[in-house]
Amino acid sequence: MLRANTLQSLFDLPGPVLTVYLNTNEAGASQGVPAFMPAYLTRLENHIHAIASTVPSEDQQSFRTQVERVQSYLLDHPMPYRGTVIFAGPGVWELLPLQVETEDEIQWGTPALVQLLWLVAEHRPYGVALIGRKGAQIFLWRIGELLHLEAKEFELGESKQKEMGPMARPGVRMSHGINRDVFEHHVSAQYKRFYGEIAERIEHWRTAEHMELLFLVGLSDMVRGVRDELPTVLQKDVVLVEEDLGWMSRSEIQKRIAPMVASREQERESKLVNELLSSDRAVTQGIDETLAQLQQGRLRRIVVSKGFSADGRQCLKCGQVNRTADPVCPACNGERKAAGLRAILPILARRHHVAVEIVSGEAARRLQQAEGIGGWFREFEKKEYSSAASSGI
């Protein structure tokens, strides 16, 4: 799974490296290919042949070494994932299995991260806390996958159990009276302490993984107990799922949570676009204006339609980008070259510390009123979306 700290480490990889994105969501082989050869390996070989002549002569030997390394690994380790990303170089090996499809892409040189940046922007991270009488488990949901982060058992407190005698032991019916009241008060206090501990761990992981929302799953009194221990500012980002799912496997939990995540994501995207389109200040709309404000460092967050694509030109000297046809940069008189904005936009956003939100479906259709892109100025950013900015690309 792609963790919050993984992306930065990829930017720091020493080049040159071979970057491989493969759509590995294929069980069978292509027609005419031996049964042991997955179709994605055939496509990989074709892509390798296509770029081999573009590799500098001094890199050819290293390039071939990494190609053979990647091909050998994929042949020996069939990918049970929908998408696979590999970065391979001298002293470098990073494999990212993904539960979403990727577009085939092979590059040699600096790590090719644009496609990964778009995936990160499109799939927000969510937290899932499964809470039961015996303990709690905390998961990270990202890019269609559930990753176990931490487990914590509930402990009643052995010393108190001994003090209360046999009435405190599981399976023994408690008599009425002061001992029972003391025991129940102790159990209640211990659970409140437990809820507080879980809330503290949730806060930790929410910050570490930049979680967008948190799903608290379990018996009604327990999930409400944990929610009430969270800071008020975080409680608005909590979704209660008042069901006991502790008996399910992780894959079953994943299937149960998936439609809830999709529903909440749809609601969030709709709200985001509505805010952008209905605001008469504090926002910018349209490709040219958003691009200009982004490069001036005035934006905190932008929202983009899934599949956004537009052509522009970038200065080879100062890096400025716009859609004018001028062959010379008006800012520094440098030479300009044609460039797709889809490839440039996530790099610009990262350089200027701007969060990127991707919307799809009906929200993306409505965003076309603003050419599929818009943004919020830093000085007017609303707190209700500040958590999204922390995970910006």
What domains can be seen in the chain, in order of their start residue? 6-112 (3.30.960), 126-247 (3.30.420.60), 269-389 (3.30.1330.30)
Specify the pLDDT at position 379: 72
Judge whether 218 and 132 are in contact, CB under 8 Å.
yes
Q: How far apart are CA 339 and CA 313, in angstroms?
A: 5
pLDDT at 34 over 70: no
pLDDT at 53 over 80: yes
The residue type of 2 is L
* pLDDT one-digit tens code per residue, 222-232: 999 999 999 99
Question: Predicted confidence band at 74 (pLDDT cuts at 50, 70, 90)?
Answer: very high
Judge whether 86 and 40 are in contact, CB under 8 Å.
no
Q: Which of 94, 101, 103 is nearest to 123 (CA)?
A: 101
Tell me, rounded to whole angstroms, the distance of Cα 266 from its chain centroid: 16
Judge whether 356 and 269 are in contact, CB under 8 Å.
no
* pLDDT one-digit tens code per residue, 168-224: 444 444 445 556 666 677 678 888 889 999 999 999 999 988 898 899 999 999 999
Q: How far apart are CA 293 and CA 288, in angstroms?
A: 9
Q: Which residues pair with 150 in a beta bridge?
A: 138
Judge whether 93 and 63 are in contact, CB under 8 Å.
no
Question: Predicted confidence band at 145 (pLDDT cuts at 50, 70, 90)?
Answer: confident
Judge whether 290 and 302 are in contact, CB under 8 Å.
yes
Judge whether 16 and 89 are in contact, CB under 8 Å.
yes
The residue type of 237 is D
Cα–Cα distance list, 276 to 284, 292, 296, 356, 384 (Å): 8, 17, 20, 14, 14
Specify the pLDDT at position 144: 80
Specify the pLDDT at position 176: 53
- Both tokens assigned to 237: 């980002």
Specify the pLDDT at position 209: 87
Q: How far apart are CA 213 and CA 146, in angstroms?
A: 14
Tell me, rounded to whole angstroms, the distance of Cα 200 from its chain centroid: 22
Question: Predicted confidence band at 36 (pLDDT cuts at 50, 70, 90)?
Answer: low
Specify the pLDDT at position 189: 84
Specify the pLDDT at position 33: 47
- Burial pattern 169-190, b for ≥16 Cβ within 10 A else e, equals eeeeeeeeeeeeeebeebeeee
pLDDT at 4 over 70: no
Q: How far apart are CA 149 and CA 257, in angstroms?
A: 16
DSSP result, 253-292: HHHHHHHHHHHHHHHHHHHHHHHHHH-SSSEEESHHHHHH
* pLDDT one-digit tens code per residue, 259-287: 988 898 899 999 999 999 998 788 999 99
Q: How far apart are CA 88 and CA 242, in angstroms?
A: 45
Average pLDDT over residues 27-43: 65
* pLDDT one-digit tens code per residue, 102-128: 999 999 999 999 999 999 888 889 999
Which of 28-37, 237-246, 268-277 is modeled with the greatest confidence? 268-277
The per-residue pLDDT of the chain, averaged, comes to 86
Tell me, rounded to whole angstroms, the distance of Cα 373 from its chain centroid: 20
The 8-class DSSP code of residue 335 comes to: B
| pLDDT greater at residue 344 or residue 29 | 344
Q: Which of 139, 141, 137, 140 is nearest to 151 (CA)?
A: 137
